[in-house]
Amino acid sequence: MRQELMKGNEAIVLGALLAGCRSYFGYPITPASEIAETAAVMFPRLGGTFLQAESEVAAINMVYGAASTGQRTMTASSSPGISLKMEGISYCAGSELPCVVVNIMRGGPGLGNIGPEQSDYFQMVKGGGHGNYRMPVLAPNGAQEMCDLTMLAFELADKYRNPVALVADGFIGQMMEPVNVPNPVRTFPDKPWAVKGTGDTRDSLISSIHLDHNELEDHIRHMYAKYAEIEKNEVRFEEYRLEDADYVTVAYGIVSRVLMSAVDQARAAGIKVGMLRPITLWPFPAPRLKQLAGHVKGILVSECSTGMMVEDVKLAVECRVPVQFYGRNGGNIPSARELYDAIVKLTNTVGS
Amino acid sequence: MKDVFKKPDSFYEFFTRSAGVDKEATHYCPGCGHGNLHKLIAEAIDDLDIADRTVFVSPVGCSVFGYYYFHVGNVQSAHGRAPAVATGIKRALPHSIVISYQGDGDLAAIGANEILQAANRGESITVIFVNNAIYGMTGGQMAPTTLIDMKTTTTPYGRHAENEGYPLRISELLATLQAPVYIERCTLEDSKSIMKTRKAIRRALELQIANKGFSLIEVLSPCPTGWKLDPIDSREWITKNMLNVFPPAVYKDRADAPSRPTPPTPVYDGDEVLKIIGIKESDAAHVAKLPADFPTHKLVLAGFGGQGILLLGQLLAKSSMREGKFVSWLPSYGPEMRGGTANCHVVVSRERIGSPFVTNPTLLVAMNQPSLEKFADSVEPGGLVIYDSSFVKDVKLPAHVKAVPVPFSEIANDLGNAKVANVVAAGTIIGLTGITGADSFKSLLGSLRKELLDANLKALAAGLAEARHFGAMSNQPSVKATVS
C-alpha cells in the first residue's frame, strides 16, 4: 500500500505525473499557484517540462503546441485565468487536441476574490470558448479524487482527442487527505495523427480551419458523434444514502462534502434523504436524475453560485418533481446546519 | 535537359489541401511576396535536409494555409499565438526544427507579447516575420507596421502618429534582448535582395540546427492587393517608402553563442517514475482494528503564524492516517491567512469524513490569546480547550467546556528550543484525547528537521507527562496513550 497525506493541489500533480503528463505550462494565480509550484519541483525531475508562461493565453497555446506532438500536457489556473484560456481551449477542441485544463475556481465576476466558488459552472460546462464544442468536466471532492480524476482526465482526453477539464475550489485544493497512490500508467495510446518531427508524420496536420461550410459542418458532426459517445460512456456520479430516499440532494465538489454531513444529520432526524453527487459535470448524470425524479418527492440543489447546475437538474427531471436551490456566494460555503435547514424546508414545502 | 523549374521536395507536388479548384497554383495574389518566401524556405529545408523533422507553424493571416504547400509537419495556430505554440512543440520535440511564419498584424499586434517572450527565452525556433505594412487577409486594415500617412481601410485618412502611434520596428526592438542569436531584416524588392533573404533564412535555420537559440528574419514583402498597386509598382513601393522606415540590416548576430543544452529525456518507466516521485510502500500503513466507540475528533488548532500550528495539525492527521483512520486537514484560507494568526481544522474519524469544516470542535487548541477569544464559544458542549498558558492569561470560557492550561512555550524553552512547543502540545493532545497513538506520532518526528529530533522527542514526552498530570487531577478525559 502506498498512502500519502497530501493536499488536493499536490494530488493533481501526482496524478498528472503518474498519468504520463510530461509538460506543464502555467501562470501564477491564487488559489491555483500551488499546482504550478508543485509542478515546478516535480516535472523536471522526470525529465519533463515546466514552464511559467507570460500569460494564461500563452500557457494554453504552449499546451496546444505540446499536445500537437502527442505529449500528455496540462495547464492549471483559476477563474479569471481560465477566461483567458478559453480561446485556446476552443482551438484545442476544434483541432481535437487532447490536454487537461484545471480550474481551481474562485469568486467572481471580475477580480472577485480568492475565496472558493463554483460560479464557473456555465463557463466550464456550457462552452466558455467560441464555437460548437463540449469538454468533459470532472469535479473531484477530495484529495484522492484530485489524483484519480486527473489521471482519468488524461485517459479521456486521449481516448476522445479532446480537452478535458478538472474543476475544484480552494478548499479541495488546500485540504490534506490520505491518497492511496495509484499505479503509474505504463502503456500509452498510439497517436499517429500527431506531429512528431519524423518522416512518417510529415503529413500530420493540426488545424481547426475548415473554410468550406460543408466541410466544417461535417467536422462538427464528427465531433458531436464523439460527444454522444462520451455522454453514453463517461457519466460518473456517486450516490449517498439514496436507496430508500424520499428526497434527493445534489451537489458537487466541496459543497457535496458539507451536504454529506447535512444528509447524515437529516437521516438522524428521521428524514429519508440522500445525495447524488455528479463527478462528471459534463456529461451530466441526467438519466439517473430523471429516474430518481420518477419516485422521489423533492430535490434540493446546493452550489457556491447563484444557481447554475440547478438548471441542468431541472432539465433532467423535466418538471416531474419540485427542485429547490440553496446557494452561497462570494467565497462562502454553506454550513452543514444551513443545508440541514434547507433539507427540512424542502420536506415541509413539498409535503411528505 | 536540366529541369530548372523543379519544385522543392518539401513542397507538396499538388496542393490537395487547398480549398480552391486549382491544385497546382497557390492561393496568393499575383505579385505577393509569400510565394517568393515559401520557395526560399522550402529550398532551404531541402538543402539542409531537415524536411522530416521540420514543424511549420502558421497562425492567422494570408499564410494561415502554409500547410497547403509545405510537406512537413504542420500546426495551425490562433492569431498571434504561434511563438507560444512553437514553444510547446519545441519543448516536446527538442530534435525538431520549428518554423513560425507570421505576418505583421499577427506578430506585432495581437501576438506582440508572445514573440517578445519567446525571443527573450531564447526558444530555439526560427521566426519568419512578413512585414507588408498592412493586414492582407482581412482586407487591408492598419497593421502596427503601417507607415505614417498610409491609407488603409481603418486609416482612411492616413495613419497619424497622434492617433495610431508610429510604425513598430520589431527587429530593432527584439535586438535589444540578450537571448536572440540572429535577427536580420531583409526585403523582396528585387532579385538581389531576394538572394540576400535566401541567405538569411538559411543562416537562421542553420543556427537552429546547431541549437543556438532564437532567430527572426523580418522580410519586407509586397502586398499589391492591399496596397492597390500592380506587382511591379509594389516592389518599387518597398524601395521608395519602406526602406527608410525599416532599414534592412543584421540587427543581431551571436552565431558564436554556445549551443543550448540538450534537454533531458522524459522518464516514462513506471517503477522509475515512482522512485523519482519518492513514493514508497509505506511500512506503517496498516488498517488497524479501530474500537467501535472511537469517537470522531473535530479539532481546531489555532495560534500565531510561526508556532507550527499547521504542522501540528498535519502530524496529528498523518499519524492517525497511518493507523487506518479517516482524516482531513484544512488550513485557514483566504484573507485570514495574512492576519498573523494561523489555524487549521482537523477531523479524525473511523467513518468516511463528510464536511472537513469544523464549526463546533470537540477540541480547541489555542496557542495564543486571540485564538482562544475567537474560537472558545464554538467548542461543542463537553468539549475540551487546551491552551498555551505561557501566552493566554485572560481566560473566559463557556461553562460547558473543559479547560486544560499548559505552558507549552515555556516547556519548549526549557527544553532549549521554542520551536518544539507544537510537539509539546501534540503530546498533551494525544495524552488527553487518544486521537492517535503516541508511538505512531513519535515515528513521524524523524521526518522533521533532524537537528530538532532530540528536542522533539523530549517535547512529546513532556506533553504526554502534562496530560498524565491533568488526567490524574480529574477523572476525565483519561490518559489513553503512553510512549514506549
B64: chain A residues, CB-CB within 8 Å? 209
B444: chain A residues, CB-CB within 8 Å? none
B466 residue type, one letter: E
Q: How far is A319 from chain B (nearest CA, A)?
A: 30
Interface probe, candidates B27, B113, B115, B273, chain A, greatest A C-beta count within 10 A: B273
Examine residue A31 and say whether the peptide bond preceding it is cis (omega within 30 degrees of 0).
yes
Give dist(CA B345, CA B331) in Å, integer: 6
Residue A209, chain B, CB below 8 Å: the answer is yes
List pLDDT tens digits, range A306-323. Answer: 999 999 999 999 999 999
Residue B4, pLDDT above cutoff 90: no
A243's grid cell = 436507496
Closest residue by Cα to residue A188 from A103, A106, A70, A306: A70
The phi, psi pair for B97, rounded to 5°, reads -110, 115
A38: chain B residues, CB-CB within 8 Å? none
List pLDDT tens digits, range A93-103. Answer: 999 999 999 99
Interface contact flag, B67 A260, Cβ < 8 Å: no
What distances in angstroms separate CA B282 from CA A4, A179, B141, B322, B444, one per listed residue?
A: 8, 12, 65, 9, 12
In sequence order, what E strands does A160-314 have?
163-169, 176-180, 205-206, 237-240, 247-250, 273-278, 280-282, 298-303
Closest alpha carbon within chain B to A49: B91
Q: What is the pLDDT of residue B97?
A: 98
pTM for the whole thing?
0.95
Give dist(CA A20, CA A33) in Å, integer: 21
Residue B97, chain A, CB below 8 Å: the answer is yes
Residue B315, chain A, CB below 8 Å: the answer is no
Q: What is the pLDDT of residue B481?
A: 36
B113's grid cell = 507579447
Point out which residues pair with B303 in neighbouring strands.
B342
A337: chain B residues, CB-CB within 8 Å? 359
Give the number of beta-carbon pairs within 8 Å between A and B: 236
Interface contact flag, A88 B329, Cβ < 8 Å: no
The phi, psi pair for B218, rounded to 5°, reads -90, 135
Give dist(CA A194, CA A70) in Å, integer: 5
Q: Are A60 and A75 in contact (CB under 8 A)?
A: yes
Averaged pLDDT for residues B154-160:
97
- Model confidence at B291, pLDDT cuts 50, 70, 90, reads confident
Averaged pLDDT for residues B146-171:
97
- Model confidence at B474, pLDDT cuts 50, 70, 90, reads low
List pLDDT tens digits, range B251-278. Answer: 999 999 999 998 999 999 999 999 999 9
Interface contact flag, A197 B73, Cβ < 8 Å: yes
Neighbouring C-beta atoms of residue A170, cutoff 10 Å: 26
Q: What is the pLDDT of residue B418?
A: 92
Mean pLDDT by 10 residues, chain A (352 residues): 93 98 97 96 98 98 98 98 98 98 97 95 96 98 98 98 97 96 96 98 97 96 98 98 98 98 98 98 98 97 98 97 97 96 96 60
Give dist(CA B56, CA B75) in Å, integer: 6
Interface contact flag, B328 A203, Cβ < 8 Å: no
Residue A277: CA count within 13 A, CB half-sphere: 22
Q: What is the pLDDT of residue B483?
A: 34
Averaged pLDDT for residues B295-303:
96
Give dist(CA B164, CA A41) in Å, integer: 44
Q: What is the pLDDT of residue A311?
A: 98
Q: What is the pLDDT of residue B285?
A: 47
Residue B5, chain A, CB below 8 Å: the answer is no
The secondary structure of B364-389 as a DSSP string is EEESSHHHHHHHGGGSPTT-EEEEET
Name which of B78, B277, B282 is nearest A61 (Cβ-Cβ). B78
The phi, psi pair for A221, rounded to 5°, reads -60, -40
B113: chain A residues, CB-CB within 8 Å? 54-55, 58
B352 residue type, one letter: R
Q: What is the pLDDT of residue B2?
A: 58
Interface contact flag, B84 A58, Cβ < 8 Å: yes
Residue A304, chain B, CB below 8 Å: the answer is no
Give dist(CA A215, CA B324) in Å, integer: 57
Q: Which residue has the cell 451530466?
A: A284
Q: What is the pLDDT of residue B304?
A: 87
Residue B335, pLDDT above cutoff 90: no
Interface contact flag, A176 B328, Cβ < 8 Å: yes
Give dist(CA B221, CA B31) in Å, integer: 10
Give dist(CA A341, CA A33) in Å, integer: 36
Residue B342, chain A, CB below 8 Å: the answer is no
Closest alpha carbon within chain A to B280: A2
Residue B61, pLDDT above cutoff 50: yes
DSSP letter for A256, please: H
Pick the more confident residue, A118 or B472. Answer: A118
Residues with Cβ < 8 Å from B132, sequence gap 6 or more? B33, B103, B104, B143, B145, B220, B221, B222, B223, B226, B227
Residue A130, chain B, CB below 8 Å: the answer is no
Q: What is the pLDDT of residue B1?
A: 52
DSSP letter for A41, please: H
List pLDDT tens digits, range B342-385. Answer: 899 999 999 999 999 999 999 999 999 999 999 999 999 999 99
Residue A341, chain B, CB below 8 Å: the answer is no
Helices (H) and strands (E) in chain A, counts: 12, 16
- Model confidence at B471, pLDDT cuts 50, 70, 90, reads confident
Percent of chain B with pLDDT over 70: 93
B282: chain A residues, CB-CB within 8 Å? 1-4
Lowest-confidence pick of A99-103, B173-177, B306-310: B306-310
Name which of B96, B281, B330 is nearest A197 (Cβ-Cβ). B96
3-state secondary structure of A247: strand
